[in-house]
Amino acid sequence: MSKKLTVAVVGATGAVGREMLKTLHDRKFPATEVRAFASARSAGNKVPFGEDELTVAELTEKSFEGIDLAIFSAGGATSTKFSPFAAHAGCVVVDNSAAWRMDDRCPLVVPEVNPHALGKHNGIIANPNCSTIQMLVALKPLHDAARIKRIVVTTFQAVSGAGQKGVNELEKQVRDLFNAREIETKAFPYQIAFNVIPRIDVFMENDYTKEEMKMVNETVKIFEDPSVRVTATCARVPVFYSHSESVNIETEKKLSAKDARVILSQAPGVKVIDNPRADLYPLALDATGCDETFVGRIREDESIENGLNMWIVADNVRKGAALNAVQIGEELLRRDLIRVTDKNVFMK
């Protein structure tokens, strides 16, 4: 790789794409040039990059010549179509959609958890689901210390997880309710204002939702341990930003709540807020706009011998998407893994 580094953000006009550009700038990612791409209807628009603006170019199959790293936030269909062309052009792709997560050719990476997996990339690296990311940032240190056997997780996911349309719908429904207007539901199957919807994404044949099975399957792949059992319930709540999770784990070795607090307080990317006597625990409002994954309500599960309960909160747009992708890029640079591959397995 040359000393000059050209980075592209694909899907730059969306909420996550804009956050990716902001994160690249805020973290002073060492790019000589940053380019912004989106669909033809967005071409020519301006997007902020620090104090400057970038002109959005139309994404085509030939967009990736001369680009070293491309961060995708444009949906699964776009990534499926264009990521192979990027990789074939010698560009390393970090993709935020679900398109490549369970593909055996693609590492699924949380930099605090499994950065070693980047060494096996073939040009495309998958960014995990937002809920999986924050859960595993907190659980990996505990897994290393006591080996987790089983995870039971219930998520309380912000409307921004459905994109800007989710944020707009919650805002509009609240206004309409207070003004005695009729409620419209488009982004979600039911009214989300002042409500909880226990379904995210479509139902599968096993009656779990696709979102829930993402957490199950991605955890096993990232931990590289098929013996870890995971069950999930994912709910949408009327919060704009930051997902919250109630997590219960069963470990092979005994791990006290005190020991877990010490381990997590020293873990990368984790901030412990856990003082019941002072009524302190992580809140979605606290996490919004922050890089850290917050953990609190750490206590022993008195119903089993080796169990712990905890509450995990993180900004789903930042750590759950943009930040994790940029951190992958930073880790690729540290490991000198941004390079033209000798062969590309994604192109026939």
CATH number of 131-316: 3.30.360.10
Domain coordinates in residue numbering, the chain: 6-128+322-334, 131-316
Same fold, 6-128+322-334 and 131-316: no
Q: What is the pLDDT along the chain (348 residues), one digit of tens a residue?
A: 446 899 999 999 999 999 999 999 999 999 999 999 999 999 999 999 999 999 999 999 999 999 999 999 999 999 999 999 999 999 999 999 999 999 999 999 999 999 999 999 999 999 999 999 999 999 999 999 999 999 999 999 999 999 999 999 999 999 999 999 999 999 999 999 999 999 999 999 999 999 999 999 999 999 999 999 999 999 999 999 999 999 999 999 999 999 999 999 999 999 999 999 999 999 999 999 999 999 999 999 999 999 999 999 999 999 999 999 999 999 999 999 986 555 566 764
The burial of 192, by beta-carbon neighbours within 10 Å (0-12 exposed, 13-18 middle, 19 or more buried), is given as buried
Q: Which residues are catalytic?
A: 130, 243
**Half-sphere exposure of residue 201: CA atoms within 13 angstroms, side-chain side:** 16
| Bridge partners for 235 per DSSP | 156
CA dist list (Å): 244 to 238, 249, 260: 12, 16, 19
CA dist list (Å): 137 to 33, 36, 70, 248, 267: 31, 29, 24, 15, 8
CATH number of 6-128+322-334: 3.40.50.720
Cα separation, 328 vs 347, in Å, equals 23
**What predicted TM-score, i.e. pTM, was given to this entire model?**
0.95
